[in-house]
Amino acid sequence: MRIAFLGLGAIGAPMARHLAAHHDLIVWNRTRPVADAFAAGTGCAVAATPRDAATGADAVITCLPTSTEVAALLEGADGLLAGLASGSLVIDCTSGDPATSRATAERLAAAGVAFVDAPVSGGTNGAEAAALTVMVGGTAGAFARAEPIVRCFGKLVVHMGPVGAGDAMKAVNNALLAVNIAAFAEGFSVLAKAGVPAATAIAVLNASSGRSFVTEKLVPERVLTGRFPLTFRLSLLDKDVGIALDLARQLGLDAPVLDAAGAVAHGARADLPADADYLDIVQVVERRAGVQIRG
């Protein structure tokens, strides 16, 4: 198949690399040299504009920061809509918001183009290993068309419901991730002040009921080593918690725990550089507590 991929960021690039191994791939990136470097490594084609990328493509995949950038990419003389053929499919792997995805789906449907929201989880390591979880929102027909394509980088591919259901799932997942990071940082600051060594505490916690993906995987690899690599921007996590909170409000629900985690994530951004990683939240909580968890 002819596949176009737009958005070669931290997670988009490894996803696109797997597609290049199975399909006739053309890529577009806002910053052109990024696309040129990617093409040099994979042998795929580079499009000058979103329109050129979409022209002749059976499916177009987008992986941008938010749904707003995806919607904007449709428009204008060089936009996706100018190149997309009736009968083609847009797969949006952005961690988006359900309402904007529904509006995008309607805009595309008017041109005879199908749409699925298909955000992913598993991080950049999962993308490198083609082991992402892909949560798909759309019609059963659109899911059936998208599924073999996203299998190139996805291990668990699930049809969540209509357009927007994938975005909702992803936003809630990441809101729970934020809860677990904030809760870990606060709990382990307490333990550090109480004189309990972090390595001992993490071994006990991970054999006990307070454990999570954060404490089992992220903390040993990144916090206790002091590595704190940049793999997922904190601003993106903050955006995801915001989407979950907006959804809760639209549905008339109170979500005080998610709200508190969102406040921690959002507040941490004020103390960090713009490109900070999401786990840097831990360092902000440490600074405010006057401790270093790893000792």
* Binding track, positions 183-212, relative to ligand NDP; x by CB under 6 A: ------------------------------
Q: Which stretch binds ligand NDP (CB under 6 A): 61-69, 146-154, 215-223, 286-294?
A: 61-69
Residue 220: both structure tokens together: 């040993």
Among 25, 136, 232, 265, binds ligand NDP (CB under 6 A): 232
Q: E strands of the chain, at which residues? A: 2-6, 24-28, 45-46, 59-62, 89-92, 114-117, 120-121, 132-137, 154-161
- 120 is a contact residue toward ligand NDP (CB under 6 A): yes
Applying the rule CB under 6 A, the residues between 13 and 52 that interact with ligand NDP are 29-31, 34
- 94 is a contact residue toward ligand NDP (CB under 6 A): yes
Q: Which is nearer to ligand NDP, 62 or 189 (CB)?
A: 62
Q: Which stretch binds ligand NDP (CB under 6 A): 100-108, 226-234, 251-259, 281-289?
A: 226-234
- 100 is a contact residue toward ligand NDP (CB under 6 A): no
Q: Which stretch binds ligand NDP (CB under 6 A): 101-109, 119-127, 193-201, 216-224?
A: 119-127
Minimum distance between the CB of residue 237 and ligand NDP, rounded to whole angstroms? 8
Q: Which is nearer to ligand NDP, 123 or 138 (CB)?
A: 123
> Is 239 labeled as catalytic in the residue annotation?
no
- The answer to whether the beta carbons of residues 104 and 71 sit under 8 Å apart is yes
Minimum distance between the CB of residue 123 and ligand NDP, rounded to whole angstroms? 4
Minimum distance between the CB of residue 93 and ligand NDP, rounded to whole angstroms? 7
Residue 143's nearest CA partner among 179, 115, 171 is 115
- 131 is a contact residue toward ligand NDP (CB under 6 A): no
Residue 4's nearest CA partner among 154, 149, 158 is 149
Helix axes 256-269, 165-193, angle to 10 degrees: 70
- The answer to whether the beta carbons of residues 265 and 281 sit under 8 Å apart is yes
The CA distance from 195 to 211, in Å, is 20
Applying the rule CB under 6 A, the residues between 68 and 87 that interact with ligand NDP are 69
Residue 199 burial (CB count, 10 A): 11
Q: Helix H segments across 194-254? A: 198-205, 213, 234-250
Residue 262's nearest CA partner among 241, 232, 286 is 241
* Binding track, positions 149-168, relative to ligand NDP; x by CB under 6 A: --------------------
Minimum distance between the CB of residue 239 and ligand NDP, rounded to whole angstroms? 7
- What amino acid is encoded at 140 in this protein? A
- What amino acid is encoded at 84 in this protein? L
List of long-range contacts for 213-222, beta carbons under 8 Å, 24+ apart: 213/177, 213/180, 214/177, 214/180, 214/181, 214/184, 215/180, 215/184, 218/181, 218/279, 219/184, 222/279
Among 3, 4, 5, 8, binds ligand NDP (CB under 6 A): 8
Count the site residues for ligand NDP by CB under 6 A. 24
Q: How far from the centroid of its chain's Cα atoms is residue 47's Cα?
A: 24
Residue 274: both structure tokens together: 């713009």
Among 12, 98, 138, 262, binds ligand NDP (CB under 6 A): 12
Q: What are phi and psi of 272, to 5 degrees?
A: -130, 160
What residues make contact with ligand NDP under the rule CB under 6 A? 7-12, 29-31, 34, 63-65, 69, 94-95, 120-121, 123-124, 231-233, 236
Catalytic positions are 170
